[in-house]
Structure 1
Amino acid sequence: MSDLGAGFGYLMKGQRWAFQHGRWLGFGLLPGLVTLVVYAGALTGLGYGADDFVAWATPFADDWSSPWLGLLRNTLVVLVFVFGLFLAVITFTAVTLLVGQPFYESLSEEVDRSEGGEVPRSDLPLWRELWISARDSLRILLRVALYGVLLFALGFIPVIGQTVVPAVGFCVSGYFLAQELTSVALQRRGMVLADRLTLLRGRRMLVLGFGVPLTLSFLVPVVAVFLMPGAVAGATLLVRDLVAPEGAEPASPYAPGQGRPA
């Protein structure tokens, strides 16, 4: 359980770092604002079109009597929108990181620089970094989609589908969200996707403590935009301690940052 609290500590320290470095906070807001506009339009379209989609997908129920027809289709409309929201929370980070790759890589480097020690840099050209980021994000999103389909199906189970399944869904979302955010700092350190996943699997509770509260916050799109710079900063701080040289004492995630002012 201590790892859960430590993960949340990295999230808070990252947000504190971002707000203490106002120039970098503003710098990191731009990609999120662009992505937010696109996603707001997509979710609005889903909200208006979910009824028609469910009616098209369930022609077998056209002759059902009341209240069964309404109960089935209203339940499916809710599940479709929840599933869309689930994917939006996960893909928002992936798309924002892809759009803002140069922004967030520079921000992550500044976090390393402000905390002292080595500042890993990628020697790859920008197009190559974007390709690797897009490819790895797609691989993670395919895993998320598989979990999403499974959870969507389990949502039909009475009681469990309305209690346990949403809780598991938030944990899954938080875990993969943390994977996406830590990829910025880990990719700069030359770690391929398989190695990154192995590293994070070894500290699942720490990753959940970081990712789940952030996922809950990201349910409000405007909040997600303002938390993204701090989320990248917090993920970088988490990575610094996860890959600290053997024998080195990890920095406490609750200690105030010592970064120089922006």
Structure 2
Amino acid sequence: MVTNSIIAKKSGVNYFIQGFQLIKQPGLRSFVFIPLMINLVLFASAMYFALGQLTELFTWMDGQLPEYLSWLNFLLWPLAVLTMLVVMSFLFSSVMNWIAAPFNGLLAEKVEQHLTGKNLNTGSSVDMIKDLPRIFGREWIKLKYYLPRALLFLVLFWLPIIGQTAAPILWFLFTAWMMAIQYCDYPFDNHKVPFDDMKFALKNTKGSSFSFGATVTVFSMIPIVNFIVMPVAICGATAMWVDKYRDAYKNSIVAPD
């Protein structure tokens, strides 16, 4: 379990920024490269297909619109592409967390080894393959935690007054919390820390957890930039694990921020 001693008092923003520095380290680049390339290939393939469908849609619209409204294509086309880019960026962030889960855990392991100089001894590649059901099971636990709460928050958007005032703020805070859970979970899971214990530790360090998650959320909203958010967030979350939880995970609680 976790003790009251907290090594560092850095904010979550600082840890995310540290993630940018860590992905450039020679010993970590190859572990960043694999999930990043999977992300880029899948996203490029989906974009190619989606743009083809969009072209067909606008070709059909050309045939339906009178000539004096043909200028609408020049207005709607960039808006449609931008909307599609933003929506697909969010969808791929979610999908990639599943596809890249084994690589993300491996990246967290190598970052921890880089920061501490100690090998985690998690086994060979064969052991990692055998561990895949447990790894994907952990992703399923996170999804089960996320979905009912996300649906509840989305309902708030339909409520009068609340939907236009409090709901967007609450949704951002919830998203920030989920980003902290998503990425901090990889180093916790590498040490087989139960999901509920991980949440307990993050709740007791709300300041760093929410500031880290909020920073990840903001960067995830930026198309193209969000391609590198995943490895940066994993590196930053692992640095936070090393500072705040790793050596302290012995007793019952984590000292709050």
Per-residue CA shift, 1:45-95, capped at 9, x if unaligned?
A: xx9xxxxxxxxxxxxxxxxxxxxxxxxxxxxxxxxx9xx96x984x74553
Alignment-mate amino acid for residue 234 of structure 2? V
Aligned pairs for 1:7-26 within 5 A: 7-21=12-26, 23-24=29-30, 25-26=32-33
Change in Cα spacing, 1:241 to 1:135, as seen in structure 2 (3 Å) is same
TM-score (norm 2): 0.67
Residue of structure 1 equivalent to 2:43: 36
Residue of structure 1 equivalent to 2:98: 98
Is there any run of 5+ residues in structure 2 with no aligned partner, and where? 1-7, 55-82, 250-257
Residue of structure 2 equivalent to 1:220: 222
Residues 12 and 212, structure 2, Cα contact 8 Å, conserved in 1: yes
Aligned pairs for 1:1-262 within 5 A: 6-21=11-26, 23-24=29-30, 25-37=32-44, 89=90, 92-93=92-93, 95-123=95-123, 125-246=127-248
Identity rate of aligned residues, in percent?
A: 20
Deviation at 1:139, TM superposition (A): 2.1
Change in Cα spacing, 1:142 to 1:104, as seen in structure 2 (3 Å) is closer
Residues 101 and 136, structure 2, Cα contact 8 Å, conserved in 1: no
Per-residue CA shift, 1:116-136, capped at 9, x if unaligned?
A: 343324248233432222222
Per-residue CA shift, 1:6-28, capped at 9, x if unaligned?
A: 01110010112113448344344
Distance 2:173 2:41 in 1: 27
Deviation at 1:194, TM superposition (A): 2.3
Deviation at 1:186, TM superposition (A): 1.4
Distance 1:142 1:19 in 2: 34
Greater Rg by CA: 2
Distance 2:110 2:10 in 1: 25
Distance 1:190 1:7 in 2: 23
Alignment-mate amino acid for residue 26 of structure 1? F
| RMSD between superposed Cα atoms in Å | 3.6
